[in-house]
Structure 1
Amino acid sequence: MKKLYMIWFTCLIGLLITACYDDNGNYDYRKIGEVQIDGLEETYECVAYQDVLHVEPKVTITDGSSDLEYFWTLNLTPGSSTTSEKIKIELDTIGRERVLDYPITEKAGAYDLTLWAKNKANGATSIETVSLSVVTPFSEGFYLLKEINGGTDLDLHLKDGSYVMDILEAKDGQPMPGAPVSIGLDPTYSFINAQTEYEITKAVTICTENDVRISNIEDMSVIYTYNTMFLGEIPTGEKPYYIWRNYFGVGYTCDKGIYFSYQAPSYQLLGTGKFGLPVLVNDSEGTKPSFYGVISSGCWFFFDELKGRLLYLDFNGSLHTFKDEDEEGKKQPYPINGIPHKLKYFGINYIAADKETNGYILFEDENNVDKLYIYHMVLSTTNIYNPIKKVIEVDASSKLHEADLFATYESTAKVMYFVANNQIYLYDLEQQVEEPLNPTGMVTGEEITYIKNYYWKEDAVTGDNFDYLVFATHQNGKYKVYMYNILGGKPNGGPVRVLEGDGKVVSMRFVDKDMKIDSTIPAL
């Protein structure tokens, strides 16, 4: 598109010229023809490579003349998650008529759409700027990570009920090899593209049992794989677990350690998106992270199986331990270091009224598999002392002993969900009692493959928020995902949505066009 090089000069002239007059000797002044723009919406939204932006404003001049000149310009909104001071922003002319019909080919992001209307007779100019949100077919909806035909693929179910199936096969000709492990989301991922320029995008991250894929959410193209995501030598023999975003970087965890890539585009800190060496405790001690971990205050909390201790990776990429004693130096009855148990699940819960982030770890006794313990902790990055509040031994009769799928209600009630022998249960973490759940509308006999409390609570514009209890099932090579509203920690009524497709769902992520670096995203 043609660059508008004289735009600031025109603007300056328009601001300086506020009146004109006819000098016929009697000095009879009259007001100039002022330009008025009406009929613009505050915000427009378009799908890239699909929509044509149509805008038809009303433009008037006070003296009734109609000799006007128009310029429509479009540029990335400064300070948006898709821009940085280190990235050049160019002001482009996209139209020269009052009515704008512009095919959207821009990348997903937030843009300023500006109409400049100038009275040719005297140069008086009116300028109106509104917002344009550009999304792609992959910008909003529920991503379902699934196992299909022995490999890993991805389906996207959009909020309007439409869907895009088998995305990886469509891009690559085949699913990713190996069974799926996890899916993550980075609302502001920075990397260096093929033109050796910094680029910022939303990214979907996938870990399989033997590979990793970081994809650009705009077109699902590959940014990095396991073989290209390291700065130096490629590690061998690792089992990938999960890739996630915190405030100032991207974390990657596997069974051999934890990695960190420092970057925060929203704070003008760009990075390559690649990983160096594993992060060490006290610059010397390695770790063996558990698969499950949680994010709190922008930090990643996990259990180190190597030394049986709780650690957290802070938002600057440093690893921290906790002391076994309390603030007065008194040893606590349950040490946070040297825990001789096997972790089965790590969940999180935040009660706004308490202003506490609760962590719940389900441990299996290392010496007696018939014994289970639930460690209740308060997770804080400002506390270096023992965070354990209490430890509960699970009753021998509890179905938790037979469970293989777990989740917590992350945002309200202190409850855990689990699946044992294909039956869903609710476990009250305060009262230590459980009850079976039989959600309305679920088909009996389907294998339950995934359970999760999933929510989005940051849509301030349309209020299109949700808080669901989600169950995925599998039968005869096909999946169903049931989504329920929650009341008192339990499914309320029938499913709000049921998603269907081929394969077996093992995890999911929701993406919204307005997600930012500090958006609250459910844990792994």
Structure 2
Amino acid sequence: MKKKIYNILSVCLFALLVSACYDDEGNYDYHEISTINTEGLEKSYTKTSYQDVLHLEPTVTATGGESDFEYLWTLNLTKGSGTTSNKIEIILDTIGTDRVLDFPVNIKQGFYDLTFRVTNKSNKLETYQVMSLSVVTKFSEGFYLLKDMGNSTDVDLHASDNSLVDNIFLKMDGEHMPDAPVSLGLDPGYCFVDETTAEYVITKALTVCTEKDVRISNIEDMSTIYTHSNMFLGGEAPEEKPYYVWRNAYGVGYISDKGAYFSTQASLWDLLGTGKFGFPAMVNDDEETKPNRNGVFASTCFYYLDELKGRFLFLDYNGSLHTYSDLDENNEEKPNKPNGITHHLKFFGKNYMDKKSTGYALFEDENTAGKHYIYQLVLGMDPFNPIEKVTEVATSSKLNGANLFAVNELTAKVMYFVNDNQLYMYDLVQNTEELLRPTDMATGEEITYISNRYWSGSDNADKNFDYLVFATRKDGKYKVYLYEILGGKPYGKPVRVLEGEGKVVKMHYVDPSMSMVSYSYFPNSF
């Protein structure tokens, strides 16, 4: 036993001596893995299509001191931005392979992902940075004005940089659009099929109706997408009086004196469409309607009066047409009914105070000229009687002789009107009125347009606004006054005065950030 223990100790001692004499020649000189750093790039850029060059010159360094890199710049449309769809193939375009990028922005308007990728050639490690690129055109932002040129129609654009692009139709076609103007509409998420490429295109569209025609224009370059002659499926256009084209939630709406039409499309949810219209929607699938030219958009529906039966109807977000019951939600009679109205509708506006959509319809008595009633109704999708009250306008009220009307949509329950070329405000709660005297508004000029214009959908609060707008004309020239609003009244001096030639009758603001779902953030009514 002692001999075994001795042998074991001898082996252990030998191993210890050998290990003490062994030289470890391994390489334990560790180095930190080299990383790539880029500087000099912003998170976002905005450039004008077919005008600007995107020049970027980032600084690229590596912690290991290397300087041999590969560079790749790519560009693709941003998903979910309203300028593309999951059903449209996204192509990743290479726009540069050098560190310094000089890219002529000769691409269509929209929102793009710009990616800068750097690869270290020595160890194949890479890094990348994604930026947003907003591409606009000279038509992408500003106030569009619809003008009556005397039995013809045209449009001016007062851009955000205070420049003026006047008589756009004349410059595009060599002539004004024939016939007098009726309406100006905006669809910030319009989809159509480009007949030259047979591909879907998603854009913003400006819509104009005249007494005999319709023009749907691509705001990217103001080219014509459709006119009344080719905007119907099957190719045959009905004989009718066009009234209005607008974004109606899951589609595009269009009304004329022959009915309410609907073209299904919702590009943000991958529901693409041609932008063309079929037959008018019918009540219960068999009753035709004859819309009054005045209508309002609210709660994802369009509300109008059917002159055939004197009834209020609404076209919902899927293009179905609905009637109202004469009874309330308890199946009880109400004193005023939404059906069988025999008075003449002169104006229909909406108010959205306290997140509640309320309609105000001004009717003239069928038998007594100059006698008027204001119908107040809930603008919703319940089938019950929506009429809340009917107010007879006082005989002494200037509203009885008015020729222009507007409603404050956001901040006060008031109606604006013009009587004998003077501005008035009518309190829809107290049923009182007062004369308005906006600061620095010229006297002796014909008032041609009044409206509450607003945009509240921008992430940049400085770009949102809520204006009371008045347009005047004198000696063939117009002025459009934009006032801030306080208590429903024009406040202070005009924020801006737009000037040009012609007679302004409608107005819309367009912003590059608008998308298909922006319809609740700007006035979308007739």
Instruction: Give the TM-score normalised by the residue count of structure 2.
Output: 0.93
Q: Any idea what SS the aligned residue of 1:168 has?
A: helix
| 1:91 alignment partner in structure 2 | 92
2:485 aligned partner: 486
Give the match for residue 43 of structure 1: 44
Within 2, Cα distance between the matches of 1:361 and 1:151?
A: 29
Per-residue deviation, 1:462: 5.1
Cα distance in 1, alignment partners of residues 146 and 75 from structure 2: 36
Q: Which amino acid aligns with 1:259?
A: Y
- Residue-by-residue CA offset, 1:450-498 (whole Å, 9 max, x unaligned): 0000011122135311110000111111111011111110011111111
What secondary structure, in the 3-state scheme, does the structure 2 residue paired with 1:373 have? strand
- 1:152-198 CA distance string (max 9 Å, x none): 11100012211111111111011111111111111111111021111
Structure 1 stretch 400-409 or stretch 79-88: which is displaced more?
79-88
Aligned residue in 2 for 1:447 = 446
Partner of 1:393: 392
Does the aligned pair in 1 maintain the 2:456–2:522 contact within 8 Å? no
1:368 aligned partner, one-letter code? T
- Sort the Cα spacing of 1:28 and 1:206 in 2 relative to 1 into closer, same or farther, 3 A: same
What does 1:28-177 correspond to in 2, within 5 Å?
Answer: 28-177=29-178
Please state how far the C-alpha of 1:247 moved relative to its aligned partner: 1.2
One-letter identity of the residue aligned with 2:456: K
TM-score by length of 1: 0.93
Map of 1:311 onto structure 2: 313
Residue 10 of structure 1 is matched in structure 2 by none
Separation in structure 1 between the aligned mates of residue 505 and residue 158 of structure 2, nearest angstrom: 15
> CA separation in 1, counterparts of 2:292 and 2:26?
90
2:204 aligned residue: 202
Which segment drifts farther, 474-483 or 228-237?
228-237
What is the alpha-carbon distance in structure 1 between the residues aligned to residue 221 and residue 192 of structure 2?
15
Who is 1:435 aligned against? 434
Deviation string, structure 1 residues 309-355 (Cα, Å, up to 9, x no partner):
11110000000111111111101100111111110100000113xx3
The separation in 2 between residues aligned to 1:314 and 1:173, in whole angstroms, is 39
Q: Which residue of 1 aligns with 2:372?
A: 372
Alpha-carbon distance in 1 for matches of 2:514, 2:280 = 28
Report deviation, 1:87. 1.0
Instruction: After TM superposition, give the deviation of residue 233 of structure 1 in Å.
Output: 5.0
Cross-structure match for 2:340? 338
Task: Give the whole-Å Cα distance in 1 for the aligned partners of 2:264 and 2:275.
Answer: 8
Letter of the 2:98 partner, please give it.
E
Contact 1:256 1:287 in 2 (8 A): yes
Supply the distance in 2 between the matched residues of 1:148 and 1:214 (Cα, whole angstroms).
Answer: 19
SS of corresponding position for 1:89: coil
Residue 237 of structure 1: CA displacement?
Answer: 2.9
Is 1:186 aligned to residue 183 of structure 2?
A: no
Please tell me the residue identity of whatever aligns with 2:290.
K
**1:19 — aligned with what?**
none
What code does the residue aligned with 2:124 have? G
SS in 2 for 1:518: helix
Deviation at 1:25, TM superposition (A): 5.0
Residues 228 and 237 in structure 2, CA contact (< 8 A), matched pair in contact too: no
Whichever residue aligns with residue 303 of structure 1, its letter is L
User: Is the 1:448–1:473 contact (alpha carbons within 8 Å) kept by the matching residues of 2?
Assistant: yes
5 Å-filtered alignment, 1:417-432, equals 417-432=416-431
Distance 1:391 1:297 in 2: 22
Query: Paired residue for 2:220?
Result: 218
8 A Cα contact 1:143 1:509, kept in partner: yes
Whether the 8 Å contact between 1:153 and 1:175 is mirrored in structure 2 is: yes
Task: Please say which structure displays the higher CA radius of gyration.
Answer: 2
For the residues of structure 2 that align with 1:132 and 1:52, how far apart are their CA atoms?
A: 12
Deviations 1:407-458 (A, max 9, x none): 0000110000000111110000000000111111111111111000001112
Once the two structures are TM-superposed, the CA of residue 82 in structure 1 deviates from its matched residue by 0.7
1:37-89 Cα distance to aligned partner (Å, 9 max, x none): 22321111001011111222222201111111111110001122011112111
Q: 1:250 aligns with which of 249, 252, 259?
A: 252
> Does the 8 Å CA contact 2:412/2:487 hold for their aligned counterparts?
yes
- Structure 1 residue 517, shift from structure 2 partner: 1.6
Q: In 2, Cα distance between the equivalents of 1:461 and 1:510?
A: 16
Whether the 8 Å contact between 1:288 and 1:306 is mirrored in structure 2 is yes
Q: For the residues of structure 1 that align with 2:461 and 2:433, how far apart are their CA atoms?
A: 37
Q: Shift in Å at residue 235 of structure 1?
A: 3.8
Matched pairs, number: 498
Quickly say closer, same or farther: Cα 1:67–1:462, change in 2 above 3 A.
farther
**Cα drift, residue 290 of structure 1:** 1.0
SS at match of 1:137: coil
CA distance in 1, matches of 2:213, 2:269: 30
SS of the residue aligned with 1:401? helix
Instruction: Tell me the alpha carbon deviations over residues 233-291 of structure 1, each in whole angstroms, 9 at most, x when there is no partner.
Output: 53443110000002100001011111110001111100000000111011011111011
Whether 1:356 aligns to 2:359 is: no
1:370 Cα offset (Å): 3.2
**Counterpart amino acid of residue 297 in structure 2:** I
5+ residue gaps, structure 1, are 1-23
Aligned residues of 1:246 and 1:517 also touching (Cα < 8 A): no
Q: 1:416 is matched with which residue?
A: 415
Distance 1:286 1:232 in 2: 20
In the alignment, residue 480 of structure 2 is paired with which amino acid?
V
Deviation sequence 1:67-119 (CA, Å, 0-9, x none): 11111110001122011112111111111122212110111111000000111
Q: Partners of 1:485 and 1:96 in 2: how far apart?
A: 50
- Matched to 1:301, the amino acid is Y
Stretches of 4+ aligned residues off by more than 6 angstroms: none
- Secondary structure of 2:517's counterpart equals coil
Provide the C-alpha distance between the structure 1 equivalents of 2:510 and 2:137, rounded to a whole number of angstroms. 12
Q: RMSD between aligned alpha carbons?
A: 1.2
Q: How far apart, CA to CA, are the structure 1 residues paired with 2:59 and 2:498?
A: 44
Asked if 2 retains the 8 angstrom alpha-carbon contact of 1:145 and 1:506, the reply is yes
Q: 2:274 — aligned with what? A: 272
Contact 2:150-2:180 at 8 Å conserved across structures = no
Residues 370, 401 of structure 2: 8 Å contact kept: no
Q: What is the distance in 1 between the residues matched to 2:161 and 2:62?
A: 42
Question: Which amino acid letter does the alignment assign opposite residue 435 of structure 1?
Answer: E
1:390–1:462 Cα change, 3 Å: closer
Amino acid at match of 1:169: L
On the 8 A contact 2:292/2:304 being kept in 1, the answer is yes
- The residue that corresponds to 1:404 in the other structure is 403
Higher deviation after alignment, 88-97 or 29-38: 29-38
What SS does the corresponding residue of 2:463 show, helix, strand or coil? coil
